Amino acid sequence: MYKVVVVCIKGGVGKTLTVLSLAAEFGILSKGRLKGLLVDCDPTCNSSNPTIGAKDTDATIYDVYKNPDLDIREAIYPADQDQYPGLYVLAGDSRMSEVDELLARRAIKETVLHRALKAVEHEFDYAIIDTPASKTTMLKNAVCASDAYIVPIEHDIQAIDGYLFVQNLIDELSDVWVELRPKPKNLGVFFTKVEPKGNAIQRIEEMAKKEVKEKLLPIKIPKSIHAKEARIDGLSLQHDRVHPISVAYSALAQYLLKTFESNDRGGEKWKKLQRETGLQQKERKKEKQMRL
């Protein structure tokens, strides 16, 4: 299981939308053959609520923290398979805001999630982790559980602060990396809510490039009312295969699949997926031409 956390200290930048869109896109690209686990570490449960399928769990992610002996499978349920093929969800819980208190007296605080996920390491191909926008023990756990991280930043002047915060957080957790595991790989930064071209927009990008350098991905998620509309309709954005926002998220998903493949966690499975993704790209082009 390759675990990716979507993280940025700023709220409203599109972390949750990114998690949902990637989970849907991995499912569509693989025709449900990739088995994914969505881990909602935000007490608002914005990413586990819209994926609701046959939710019938005795436990939630809160219980996973509360009881280290609990079998994590008791808190996992299948998402709506029409919208999110192959996806399972570790049930979110609004009591997650109490996790800091819960762990206050424990000697090991930051690696509870990492240890719990180990039990299902061989049952899923990937995990995608949504995070809150505050520096809580929960956020540290999400980062410590991950093999890699990706940072969405909003297209504005202070955008880069969210990325610098993540870098600092990873430095602060240096004890964990020395003792338990290598530090997570930086998969890059991408702009969200990008508006049509303008002079200011170009300047923001130049400033970001100076700080982030080659980690600034060429993928830009456009600003679109479709993001809100799809949520109201209870649909994932990836439902529409040709809308610019879905195409951008598909490009991000394909970039991540390549990094999964290069880590060779799935070997032949990822390679097969790459071939299928190429075919789907051709189909999408055809559909777009027919719509014009």
Ligand X SMILES: Nc1ncnc2c1ncn2[C@@H]1O[C@H](COP(=O)(O)OP(=O)(O)O)[C@@H](O)[C@H]1O
Residues lying near ligand X in the complex (CB under 6 A): 11-17, 46, 133, 192-193, 221, 223-224, 227-228, 231, 245
103 token code pair: 């762990």
| Residue 11 interacting entry, from Mg ion, ligand X, none, C-beta within 5 to 8 Å by type | ligand X
Distances from the Cα of 261 to the Cα of 125, 145, 152, 254, 267, angstroms: 11, 20, 22, 11, 7
Cβ-closest position to Mg ion: 16
| Residue 159 interacting entry, from Mg ion, ligand X, none, C-beta within 5 to 8 Å by type | none
90 token code pair: 């570790």
- Nearest CB to ligand X, comparing residues 30 and 246: 246
192 binds Mg ion (CB under 5 A): no
CA distance 145 to 199: 40
136 binds Mg ion (CB under 5 A): no
Count how many Cα atoms sit within 13 Å of the Cα of residue 285 in the half-sphere of its side chain: 6
Alpha helices (runs of H) in 95-173, residue ranges in sequence order: 99-103, 112-118, 137-144, 159-172
Residues in the chain: 292
In the complex, the smallest distance separating the C-beta of residue 126 from ligand X, rounded to whole angstroms, is: 19
In the complex, the smallest distance separating the C-beta of residue 166 from ligand X, rounded to whole angstroms, is: 13
Candidates 1, 3, 7, 16: give the one binding Mg ion (CB under 5 A): 16
For residue 9, the 8-state DSSP code is: S
* Cβ-contact 196, 160 below 8 angstroms: no
In the complex, the smallest distance separating the C-beta of residue 5 from ligand X, rounded to whole angstroms, is: 13
In the complex, the smallest distance separating the C-beta of residue 250 from Mg ion, rounded to whole angstroms, is: 21
* CA proximity to 273, closest of 253, 246, 248: 253
What end-to-end distance do the CA atoms of the chain give, in Å?
41
- Segment interacting with Mg ion (CB under 5 A) among 28-36, 39-47, 186-194, 244-252: 39-47
46 binds Mg ion (CB under 5 A): yes
In the complex, the smallest distance separating the C-beta of residue 137 from ligand X, rounded to whole angstroms, is: 19
- Nearest CB to ligand X, comparing residues 30 and 250: 250
48 binds Mg ion (CB under 5 A): no
- Nearest CB to ligand X, comparing residues 94 and 274: 94
Q: Is 33 helix (H, G, I), strand (E, B) or coil?
A: coil
**How far out from the chain centre does Cα 253 lie?**
10
Size of the site for Mg ion (CB under 5 A): 3
The binding site for Mg ion (CB under 5 A) comprises 15-16, 46
